[in-house]
Amino acid sequence: MLIDQLFATRTHRMKASEIRELLKLLNRPGLLSFAGGIPDPDLFPSAEFSAAFQAALQPKDQAEALQYSVSEGYLPLRQWIKGEMARMGVACDVDNILITSGSQQALDYLGKLFLSPNDTALVGWPTYLGALAAFNAYEPRYDQLNPGGNRSPTSYRDAAAEANSRVKFAYLSPDFANPTGETLSLVGREALLDLAEELDCAVIEDGAYHALRYEGEAIPPILALEIARKGSIEDCQTIYCGSFSKTLSPGLRMGWAVAAKPVIAQMVLMKQAADLHSPTLNQMAVYKVAEACFDSHVAGLRQAYGARRDAMLSALEAFMPEGISWTKPKGGMFVWLTLPQHVDTAEVLTRALEQENIAFVPGQAFFADGDGCNTLRLSFSVLDADEIRTGIQRLARLLNQGTRV
């Protein structure tokens, strides 16, 4: 008997990330990659991290830095996050905060916490493929989330009941979403809270890109709006997932979850069973850098990434053929393209790599039902303005050759 015959049924839902596979191409000579939604390493606060790690390994701190620690996370870092959440309108205690190994770990824990096989998760069409990967292991049923649309709570409930299922949560990234770059309006956020109350389900709010706004006024997090309604985080059904990956460093794998204490208590038990705690040394370094320069560093990121977004939108306007539309994000790292219905962007990617030495992510990976073959995601975070213009010109040339109706 082959050992894979012993694998649990959940493994059939686990698939390789297309983005992870595309990242293997980044060292290819001359490649202009719009694929990975990764920060520009030239913008990392490297000097600050070097000083922070050295400080954490000084005699007075090194025992704490190198020893086992509590699963909840390094207290000074949780206190800093408490202050940051307060600035966003989320009043909470440190006991409402869990440090995770990136927000991806929080999504995995929340899938484990809420989903039994065939439970319904409401997600966007499209949505972040890392969320689908995290939830897939728990064998859910997916339904299309359309907050603020014309779909009634009864339609969600009836669709779940027909499948002998129950809606457990709605997942979304309301600010500059991955992959579309779109932002959910204040009206849409309030409508989502109404829907969650009607369905008696949780809301998982992915705030990975919240800090990267380049224009317009900030909209309060969904958790802040629910606290305003109910008076206390302990009465809320929203779980906020934050991350330092897009602001300070992705490689240190530092994220956090903010929620009512019963939710955090269960996630702590999962943390204890999974990896005991996130690396204390990394937590100490992130705290020291955040305390020293978070606001000024993020201001620099907004300026740099905002200019690159402008360069991409300008190039798309200048070079893209008719019949192609795209989003115009106010922040984040992504622009979403929709091509004519007959175009298969996976096939376009093959030709893009071979003929133009450019890369992007085909959109199909972001759809729970495998739809979206005529869509693609472009990231503007790593390339400079000239490279963006050159890459978009190459992509437009390719699309002009082979995708017209």
Q: What is the pLDDT of residues 354-392, one digit of tens each?
A: 999 999 999 999 999 999 999 999 999 999 999 999 999
Greater pLDDT, 221 or 22: 221
pLDDT of residue 1: 59
pLDDT at 19: 62
**What does DSSP assign to residue 115?**
P
CA dihedral over 210, 295, 90, 132, signed as positive or negative: positive
Tell me the C-alpha distance between 370 and 376, whole Å. Answer: 13
CATH of domain 3-45+295-402: 3.90.1150.10
How far apart are alpha carbons 381 and 399 in whole angstroms? Answer: 22
Answer whether residue 151 shows pLDDT above 90: no
Per-residue pLDDT, 30: 85
pLDDT at 6: 80
φ/ψ of 268, rounded to 5, equals -65, -40
* Residue 37 pLDDT: 86
If you search the block for the tokens 């929620």, which residue do you land on?
259
pLDDT in tens, 183-238: 999 999 999 999 999 999 999 999 999 999 999 999 999 999 999 999 999 999 99
User: What are the sequence ranges of the domains in the chain?
Assistant: 3-45+295-402, 46-293
Least confident of 13-27, 63-77, 353-367: 13-27
Identify the pLDDT of residue 3. Answer: 82
Does pLDDT of 26 surpass 50?
yes
Residue carrying structure tokens 């984040």:
332
pLDDT at position 80 is 98
Least confident of 13-22, 108-117, 200-209, 329-338: 13-22
Q: What pLDDT is stored for residue 402 in this prediction?
A: 61
Residue 395 has pLDDT above 80, yes or no: yes
Please check the confidence at residue 145 and state whether its pLDDT lies above 90.
yes
Predicted TM-score of the model (pTM):
0.94
Where b means 16+ CB within 10 Å and e means fewer, 231-245 reads eebeebbbbbbbbbb
- Give the burial class of 389: count Cβ atoms within 10 A of its Cβ; 0-12 exposed, 13-18 middle, 19 or more buried: middle
More confident residue, 21 or 327: 327
Res 22: pLDDT: 62
Which amino acid appears at position 38 of this protein?
I
pLDDT of residue 405: 38
Q: What is the mean pLDDT of residues 150-178?
A: 95
- CATH assignment of 46-293, among 1.10.645.10, 3.40.640.10, 3.90.1330.10, 1.10.4100.10: 3.40.640.10
pLDDT digits 0-9 by tens, 283-320: 999 999 999 999 999 999 999 999 999 999 999 999 99
- Pick the range with the lowest mean pLDDT from 12-16, 171-175, 347-351: 12-16
To the nearest whole number, what is the mean pLDDT of the chain?
Answer: 94
Q: Is the peptide bond before 179 cis (omega within 30 degrees of 0)?
A: yes
How far apart are alpha carbons 161 and 165 in whole angstroms?
A: 5
Q: Give the pLDDT of residue 150.
A: 79
Determine the pLDDT at residue 54: 97
Mean pLDDT across the stretch 65-81? 97
DSSP state of 341: T
CB 205 within 8 A of CB 222: yes
Peptide bond into 126 cis (omega under 30): yes
How much is the average pLDDT of 131-146? 96
Mean pLDDT (whole number) for 266-281: 97
